[in-house]
Amino acid sequence: MSFRATVLTLFPEMFPGPLGSSLAGRALKEAIWTLDVRDIRAHATDKHRTVDDTPAGGGPGMVMRPDVLAAAVDAASPETDDRPRLLMSPRGVPLTEPTVRKLAAGPGVVLVAGRFEGVDERVIAARRLAEVSIGDYVLSGGEIAAMVVLDAVIRLLPGVMGNAESAAAESFSDGLLEYPHYTRPAEWEGRPIPPLLLSGDHARIAAWRREQAAALTRERRPDLIEHREKERQGG
């Protein structure tokens, strides 16, 4: 059965976008996954197709209405739908590789691309929308974030990547950043490939790569090292 992705957005014309190219695009054509893009505005009830209103209590910007968004969610994902519902939000739980792998192992996902200042809190609770963030910054809307989630998930689906081992050695797959890579020519601008990588000694190469991955992670993401140590200690 195909991995089923549904996206709720005010800008359906943005999809599939980059998801229609490369690995994800080929997998889409091969029906390894399916994409259903729904226009939230189709569920507005007034002649102006209004989807937002001013924030209760005052303040800048506009807020997505709960009645309109709930109707869109209900139409796309009825109670019998066992797919998780994710709201792309800068205040959400950070997207991680374990989360991506869990999603890839499931039947699919429903992604809500928020806009404006945010979404009415009541619909988040009532429709069990899990808020997910792709980083500590703010985008103009959730569409690009939804694409990031889908790209990360789709590449892990069976039959998408040519070499399944590629995913196993990537950054975050074991809690570390990925080790450095080299290829021909053997020397470029006076910079040679580390001789060990040309030795054919696979055990020593594997050990070198682990050391390099650990060193890079300590330098650039010490938080990952700390988290890894806590997990090992059962904390």
Average pLDDT, the chain: 94
- Whether the pLDDT of residue 149 is over 90: the answer is yes
Coil, helix or strand for 119?
A: strand
77, with CB counted inside 10 A (0-12, 13-18, 19+), is buried
Tell whether pTM > 0.85. yes
- For 30-48, the pLDDT digits (tens) are 999 999 999 999 999 999 9
Single out the residue of 175, 27, 154, 170 nearest to residue 101, CA to CA.
154
Helices then strands, counting H and E runs in the chain, come out as 8, 10
DSSP string, 151-204: HHHHTTSTTTSS-HHHHHTSTTTTSSPPPP---SSSEETTEEPPGGGGS--HHH
Residue whose entry in the numeric block shows the structure tokens 């090292």: 225
Parts of the chain belonging to CATH 3.40.1280.10: 3-154
pLDDT of residue 168: 58
Query: Smallest Cα–Cα separation from 175: which of 117, 216, 121, 134?
Result: 216
For the chain, where do the domains classified as CATH 1.10.1270.20 start and end?
A: 169-232
Q: Could you tell me whether strands 33-39 and 3-9 are parallel, antiparallel, or unpaired per DSSP bridges?
A: parallel
pLDDT in tens, 83-99: 999 999 999 999 999 99
Please tell me which residue, 67 or 165, carries the higher pLDDT value.
67
Architecture of the domain delimited by 3-154: 3-Layer(aba) Sandwich (3.40)
**Residue 110: count of CB within 10 angstroms of its CB:** 22
Model confidence over 56-84: pLDDT tens digits? 999 999 999 999 999 999 999 999 999 99
Q: What is the pLDDT of residue 99?
A: 97
Q: Strand 118-119's sheet: what is its strand order?
A: 52-53, 63-64, 118-119
169-232 sits in which CATH class? Answer: mainly alpha
pLDDT in tens, 170-227: 667 678 999 999 999 999 999 999 999 999 999 999 999 999 999 999 999 999 999 8
Report strand pairing: 191-192 vs 187-188: antiparallel
Closest alpha carbon to 139 in 100, 113, 121, 119: 113
